Amino acid sequence: MSSPDTPAGDGRVVLDADDVSRALTRISHEILERNKGAEDLLLLGLHTRGVPLARRIAERIESVEGTSVAVGSLDVTMYRDDLRSHPTRAPHKTSLPAGGIDGKTVVLVDDVLYSGRTIRAALDALSDLGRPAAVRLAVLVDRGHRELPIRADHVGKNLPTARSEKVRVRLAETDGGDSVSIFGSPAGTAGGEVR
């Protein structure tokens, strides 16, 4: 199933379901190692595909640590700097655990890191919700081409791409299966994505 912001067709699959699973397991262990356990840890998935990724990471952390990790979701629609050029985005619901974010180590979870503008919007949204002790970023794919000084702390796959290419992440929860594909367009044509 194609999402509206990606082209139809199969593209070139760069991560299959097993690769996605291994990447999430590695990210989970890196988060635990950096945080020295699961204490005061909160995973916030960015809509849409960051939410199921955050839940999967939380499940893996619980299987290792034997303790559950708080998971929430964050909608950054109203904090984006491209609302004028993309006004049709439907807002989602931000959902925080009962304890909120104050004093927590918040790990933002997203599917693709590209320009950094979505993460900048997420940081703005977080500042309206409270004051975490630390904020970190976990992404399934880092495709490069940053426009802002933002770097992921935990990356499933660094995937160098051309600006004319598009990266499509499919997840079982939203698309019926797990994969990451690259769709190319001829060099010099308009392309890229708004992530």
Does residue 9 fall inside a structural domain?
Answer: no
Q: Is residue 183 predicted with pLDDT exceeding 50?
A: yes
Give the SS3 label for residue 179.
strand
User: Could you tell me the residue range of the domain that residue 141 belongs to?
Assistant: 16-164
Residues 115-171 have pLDDT tens digits of: 999 999 999 999 999 999 999 999 999 999 999 999 999 999 999 999 999 999 999
Does residue 171 fall inside a structural domain?
Answer: no
Q: How many other C-beta atoms lie within 10 A of the C-beta of residue 142?
A: 22
Does residue 29 fall inside a structural domain?
Answer: yes
Q: Give this prediction's pTM.
A: 0.88
What domain count does the chain have?
1
Q: What is the CATH number of the domain that holds 114?
A: 3.40.50.2020
